């Protein structure tokens, strides 16, 4: 969705479960407010922001401008099946391209759960970063020609935006910052995590995992970020899954036996 906003203006986007909202500043600048306790963030031309967990936020030309809920910005005009929103007063213009991704299993998906509340990809001195510029070029081209199947093409391009944003976030994580996504950039950790997810019923240990990898136990252990005790892990696992790890293994083993008997 394209926004043509003229000062003064301010739009509140309510929290949406299962939606990851994004905004791209294509012209001008604006302020982003996430909550009353955080300092507003200035967004410039070429900036990209994404809310992986659908947090409520406000975008405005100045922090003193009146705020209107997104649902009430009703001055719209159709654009071949999409909407362009014109909103605000008679002041300086700002243009945004915005949309959302449908997210399933936010809390139980380890990749999604590892994402922060906000991903901010800054422009390169007022220019879109190359991957964002290329993707945005194709999106605007599809909107302009509106040929058969253009909605499907745009939907896939928006999916690409999500992947690229996650890539940018992973690249920004420091080596000493514990995060599942950082582990996914390590080939050895990818193998270890794949083994655990492939066979969660097995009593995996550092030693047994290291045996499956082309590295020593000590080197593998040094790369792991774990829990202080089995009790702390069990509590964290139960918060995530709703059941203790032992019951999870039993259920998985029973499911495997049932599948084998039917084969």
Query: Over 60: is that where the pLDDT of 252 sits?
Result: no
Q: Which two tokens stand for residue 96?
A: 């945004």
In this prediction, residue 115 has a pLDDT band, given cuts at 50, 70 and 90, of confident
* pLDDT for 68 beyond 90: yes
Find the DSSP H helices in the chain: 110-113, 130-145, 150-172, 180-183, 187-198, 206-211, 217-223, 230-241, 245-262
Q: How far apart are CA 249 and CA 232, in angstroms?
A: 18
Assess contact for 11 and 73: CB atoms under 8 A. Answer: yes
Give per-residue pLDDT as tens, 146-189. 788 888 998 899 899 999 998 888 888 766 655 566 666 677 77
Q: For residue 259, what pLDDT band results from cuts at 50, 70 and 90?
A: very low
Residue position matching structure tokens 């945005």: 136
CA distance 158 to 154: 6
- Across the chain, what does the average pLDDT equal? 80
Residues 6+ apart with CB under 8 A from 123: 25, 44, 45, 46, 47, 129
- β-strand partners of 6: 88, 93
Is pLDDT larger for residue 145 or for residue 12? 12
Domain spans of the chain? 2-172, 180-262
Report the alpha-carbon distance of residue 85 to residue 69 in Å, rounded. Answer: 13
Q: Residue 60: which pLDDT band, with cuts at 50, 70 and 90?
A: very high
Sorting pLDDT into bands at 50, 70 and 90, what band is 75?
low
What is the fold of 2-172? Jelly Rolls (2.60.120)
The pLDDT of 46-55, averaged and rounded, is 92
* 14-23, 56-65, 109-118, 160-169: range with lowest mean pLDDT: 109-118
How do strand 2-6 and strand 82-88 relate by DSSP bridges?
A: parallel
CA distance 158 to 115: 18
Of the listed ranges 28-32, 40-44, 185-189, 196-200, the one predicted with least confidence = 185-189
pTM beyond 0.85, yes or no: no
Annotate 69-83 with DSSP letters as a single string.
EGGG---EEEETTEE
For tokens 């896939």, the residue is 156
């Amino acid at each position: 969705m394209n926004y043509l906003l003229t000062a003064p203006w301010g739009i509140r986007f309510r929290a949406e479960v299962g939606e990851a909202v994004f905004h791209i500043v294509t012209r001008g600048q604006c302020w982003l407010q996430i909550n009353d306790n955080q300092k507003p963030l200035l967004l410039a031309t070429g900036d990209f922001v994404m809310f992986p967990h659908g947090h409520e936020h406000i975008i405005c030309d100045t922090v003193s401008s009146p705020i209107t809920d997104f649902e009430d910005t009703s001055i719209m005009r159709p654009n071949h099946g999409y909407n362009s929103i014109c909103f605000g007063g008679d002041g300086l213009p700002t243009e945004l391209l915005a949309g959302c991704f449908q997210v399933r299993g936010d809390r139980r998906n380890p990749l999604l759960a590892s994402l922060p509340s906000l991903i901010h990809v800054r422009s390169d001195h007022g220019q879109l970063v190359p991957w964002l510029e290329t993707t945005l070029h194709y999106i605007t081209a599809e909107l302009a020609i509106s040929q058969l199947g253009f909605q499907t093409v745009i939907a896939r391009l928006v999916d690409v935006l999500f992947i690229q944003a996650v890539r940018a976030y992973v690249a920004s994580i420091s080596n000493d910052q514990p995060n599942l996504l950082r582990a996914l950039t390590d080939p050895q950790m990818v193998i270890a995590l794949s083994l655990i997810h492939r066979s969660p019923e097995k009593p995996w240990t550092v030693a047994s995992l290291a045996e499956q990898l082309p590295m020593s136990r000590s080197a593998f252990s040094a790369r792991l970020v774990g829990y202080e005790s089995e009790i702390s892990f069990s509590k964290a696992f139960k918060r995530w899954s709703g059941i203790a790890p032992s019951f999870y293994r039993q259920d998985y083993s029973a499911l495997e036996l049932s599948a084998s008997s039917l084969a």
